[in-house]
Structure 1
Amino acid sequence: MPNISETYLENRWRVQPNHANNYGTVHGGNVMKWMDELGAMSAMRFAGEPCVTASIDRMDFHRPVPTGDTVVIESFVFDEGRSSVNVHLRAARENPRSGEQEMTTESQFVFVAIDEDGSPVTVPDLTVEGERCRELRDRALAWRDANDRER
């Protein structure tokens, strides 16, 4: 059974002019795309099957990321259903020279594991082993609980 740490991924994208809006900052759609791509990789690592996006939870953009800075996205599976995989994602602005980071957005995506015909398939149980796994899962569950209260 896969554990949370095995699904943890982090990637960086340098914001180029073609990623920017008219204000010289990253277009929110690019951040969302990058989160979706990395989230799918975490889901597939967990499920051992292709995974497709089923839903995206609330996504608030707290600060812009200017052209030339880096978007750092971290992704990990924190919960599962019969064929669904819940992935927590967090994006940050990173200054490429200093490494200084500021959180820009956070969300949770649900992916569904599918077979070669596109039909949902069962996913394994998620295990939570060790302090790092518990910390990540607690952070994801706290975010979900806080957003459920706001609805």
Structure 2
Amino acid sequence: MSSVSDTYIQNRQRVQPTHTNNYESAHGGNVVKWMDEVGAMSAMRHAGETCVTAKISELDFKRPIPQGDTCVIESYAYAAGRTSVRVRLRAFRESPRTGDRELTTDSYFVFVAVDAEGSPTPVPELTVDGERCRELRDDALAAEPDEE
């Protein structure tokens, strides 16, 4: 059984010319790919199983990430169902020279744990140990999109 903070991952990707669109900023598809990969790592860290993307909610692009900047992906699991893991994902543009950071993309992904045959498999309960875990979970739940 893991805690919210056990699933916290932060990863960086330098935005190269091959990652950009016609406006010399990170192509949205690349940002989503990077978020999906890091989010799956958070989900797998909790589930202890392979996890696949089941749903992406509220994928909001707030500003571009220029070529040459760093895309920082922050990811953590904040809730678990019977076979699913809900993961909060945020992307930031970061200046490689100063470390200044701005939120660029915010989203919630749902991953499903699968066994060797690709069938959904149960995941353990996600624990909330300590103030940092509570803050992360509460922040995710407060900003989580309403499902209709």
- After TM superposition, the score normalised by the length of structure 1 is 0.96
> Relative to total residues, which structure has the larger helix share, 1 or 2?
1
Q: Name 1:69's counterpart in structure 2.
A: 69
Q: CA RMSD in A?
A: 1.0
Residues in 1 aligned to 2:51 and 2:62: alpha-carbon distance in whole angstroms: 28
Residues in 2 aligned to 1:55 and 1:46: alpha-carbon distance in whole angstroms: 17
Q: Name 2:86's counterpart in structure 1.
A: 86
Identity %: 64
Aligned residue identity for 2:28: G
Aligned residue identity for 2:107: S
Residues in 1 aligned to 2:60 and 2:134: alpha-carbon distance in whole angstroms: 25
Aligned residue identity for 1:99: G
User: Shift of the alpha carbon at 1:16?
Assistant: 0.2
Aligned residue identity for 1:142: A
Q: Name 2:133's counterpart in structure 1.
A: 133
Q: Name 2:37's counterpart in structure 1.
A: 37
What secondary structure does 2:55 align onto? Answer: strand
User: Shift of the alpha carbon at 1:60?
Assistant: 1.0
Q: Name 1:103's counterpart in structure 2.
A: 103
What secondary structure does 2:76 align onto? Answer: strand
Q: Name 1:54's counterpart in structure 2.
A: 54
Residues in 1 aligned to 2:39 and 2:60: alpha-carbon distance in whole angstroms: 17
Q: Name 1:9's counterpart in structure 2.
A: 9
**Aligned partner (choices 135, 138, 148) of residue 146 of structure 2:** 148
Residues in 1 aligned to 2:146 and 2:122: alpha-carbon distance in whole angstroms: 26
Return 5+ residue gaps in structure 2 as ranges.
none
What secondary structure does 1:57 align onto? Answer: strand
User: Shift of the alpha carbon at 1:55?
Assistant: 0.5
Return 5+ residue gaps in structure 1 as ranges.
none
Residues in 1 aligned to 2:146 and 2:80: alpha-carbon distance in whole angstroms: 18
- After TM superposition, the score normalised by the length of structure 2 is 0.98
Residues in 2 aligned to 1:85 and 1:46: alpha-carbon distance in whole angstroms: 8
**Deviation per residue, 1:48-107 (Å, 9 max, x gap):** 000000000011111111100000011000001000000000100000000000000110
Residues in 1 aligned to 2:57 and 2:114: alpha-carbon distance in whole angstroms: 21
Residues in 2 aligned to 1:71 and 1:6: alpha-carbon distance in whole angstroms: 22
